[in-house]
Amino acid sequence: MTLHPPPTVGRIELHTYDLTLVRNGAYDPTTRVRLGTTNNGQAPSRAARIERATLTPEGPGTIAVNIDAAGQHRIESWGPGGDWLSARHLRLTAHSTECLPLQGHHPVVQRALRTMGQLHLPATDTPYHELLPAILGQRITAAQALAQWARLCERYGDAAPGPLSLRLPPTPPQLLRIASWELHRLGIEQQRARTLRVAARHAAFIDHTRDLDGPAARRALMQLPGIGVWTAAVAIGVSHGDADALPIGDFHVKNTVAWALTGKPRGTDEEMIATLAPYVGQRWQLVRLLERSGLGAPQFAPKRKLLNIARL
């Protein structure tokens, strides 16, 4: 166990660390995040705990990071990749990722900044791990994708090192050994199954994007069949802490931007790009600030119908 003093921050007094981005749903078998309670309803508490198991260049590893209310980090790690994860724990907790201050060009953004402060995005440094659930999120609802991710890791990923009862993502060889009919039983149809296999076959290439900046990493991923703008943004936004990884094509994000910044309950991707032009370089950081501030668009219709692929 290692104790680390809280990292120093700039002059801005209020900071929010967007730690839930590192997990894929509340039941992600690879990652758990528990956030501390707020300080009397004022500034969000810095206290949190992250437990994460993943595949690293040194092998499988597990890390647990406790952050107290003062921002001090206490770390435990297990497995061959434990030291690798420990060396990057401040990126995982968003305490050492680059955070250029957002400017309140819009009154809604100004209010969000007064409430939330500057929003810091985490970086996991594990692009292969992040790409798999991003692929699962193509063309289906978030609830379906999160359930499929959990089942995929529980059924085909190994038990993670350490005592936390976490699971690892399937390794590339494990993923390539899964028969198409087995993926179909999980609800993963042929197109997404094919893209998962692309990720497995090109895992070394994907991992090398760790050494690129966010925009270059997104461009690199989009060279692979089945990986477009949305999938690359979802994966690299988390693996790299890419503040501009705008998920163009998302079912909800364009509406969030339209509602918060133009007052319209619905918008298009083209309108979103135009509206966010003053924030180029920080568009994903801004979207997360809006979402964390509770500025989602109103719902006027029933939710999208869930299609159970496994029954077809």
pLDDT tens for each residue of 184-195: 999 999 999 999
How long a stretch of residues is the chain?
Answer: 312
SS3 letters for 14-54? CEEECHHHHCCCCCCCCEEEEECCCCCCCCCCCCEEEEEEE
- Would you kindly state where each structural domain of the chain is located, as residue ranges? 2-101
Query: Which run of H or E residues covers position 214?
Result: helix 214-221
Strand partners, 3: 74
**CB crowding 5-42: b at 16 or more within 10 Å, else e:** eeeeeeeeeebbbbbbbbbbbeebbbbbbebeeeeeee
What digits encode the pLDDT tens for the residues 154-173?
Answer: 999 999 999 999 999 999 99
What pLDDT score does 38 carry?
59
Mean pLDDT of 139-164: 97
Secondary structure of residue 64 in the 3-state scheme: strand
Q: Give the rounded distance of the alpha carbon of 220 from its chain centre.
A: 18
User: Residue 54 in contact with residue 126, Cβ under 8 Å?
Assistant: yes
End-to-end CA distance of the chain: 49
Summarised one tens digit per residue, pLDDT across range 242-257 is: 999 999 999 999 999 9
d(CA 7, CA 108): 29
Q: What is the dihedral of CA 129, 229, 216, 97, to 10 degrees?
A: -60
Q: Could you tell me which of 187, 192, 142, 133 has the C-alpha nearest to residue 304? A: 142
SS3 154: helix
Q: What is the mean pLDDT of residues 275-286?
A: 97
Max mean pLDDT range (6-20, 100-114, 115-129): 115-129
pLDDT band of residue 99 (cuts 50, 70, 90) is confident
Q: Which amino acid is at 254?
A: K
Residue 31: strand pairing partners: 52
Summarize the confidence of residues 80-93 as an average pLDDT.
Answer: 98
What is the DSSP secondary-structure string of 79-130? STTHHHHHHTHHHHTTSSS--PPPP--SHHHHHHHHHH-EEEPP--S-HHHH
User: What's the pTM?
Assistant: 0.90
Instruction: Map tokens 């528990």 to a residue.
Output: 34
- The answer to whether residue 7 scores a pLDDT higher than 90 is no
Averaged pLDDT, 291-308: 70
DSSP 8-class letter at 6: P
